[in-house]
């Protein structure tokens, strides 16, 4: 039982005694994850360190931002090419802001 602002939550004793299961959530493709199950956190960490992350590094790097944030998906090809040129110019100049005339559509 826990008290939270006057709210009483009853948790069955069997739920507290249940065996914990840890699941690997490393992306292995565009819409899939590893899904390996472990009974201890140490076994999961060993799995992540020794094999899973190294084997699926490319999927982790390419898929994660695109899946979580639609802004990283491909735009119109012309805008995409323009913004890549702007990015390269910004890196050369060492600045972190886009000038008003560099914005896609110049708005």
Q: What is the pLDDT of residues 70-91, one digit of tens each?
A: 666 667 788 888 888 999 999 9
Q: What is the pLDDT of residues 32-69, one digit of tens each?
A: 889 999 988 899 999 988 888 889 888 877 765 656 66
Q: For residues 48 and 55, give the distance between their C-alpha atoms in angstroms, rounded to a whole number.
A: 10
- As a whole number, mean pLDDT of residues 88-106 equals 86
How long is the chain?
Answer: 107
> 23: which residues sit within 8 A by CB, 6+ positions away?
35, 36, 37, 38
Q: 2 pLDDT exceeds 50?
A: no
Q: For residues 12 and 33, give the distance between their C-alpha atoms in angstroms, rounded to a whole number.
A: 31
User: What pTM did the predictor assign?
Assistant: 0.45
Instruction: Quickly state the pLDDT bin for 1 (edges 50, 70, 90).
Output: very low
In this structure, the strands spanning 27-29 and 22-23 are unpaired
Go through 21-48 and write b for each residue having 16 or more CB atoms within 10 A of its CB, e for each that does not: ebebebbbeeeeebebebeeeeebeebb
- For 52, other C-beta atoms within 10 Å of its C-beta total 20
- The two three-digit tokens of residue 81, written as one number: 């090419």
pLDDT of residue 93: 94
């Amino acid at each position: 039982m826990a008290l939270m602002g006057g709210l009483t939550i009853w948790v069955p004793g069997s739920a507290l005694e249940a065996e914990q299961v840890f699941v690997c959530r490393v992306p292995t493709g565009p819409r899939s994850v590893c899904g390996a199950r472990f009974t201890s956190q140490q076994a999961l960490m060993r799995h992540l360190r020794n094999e899973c992350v190294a084997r699926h590094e490319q999927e982790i790097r390419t898929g994660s931002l695109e899946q979580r944030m639609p802004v990283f998906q491909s735009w119109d090809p012309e805008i995409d090419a323009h913004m890549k040129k702007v990015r390269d110019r910004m890196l050369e100049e060492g600045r972190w802001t886009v000038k008003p005339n560099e914005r896609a559509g110049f708005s």
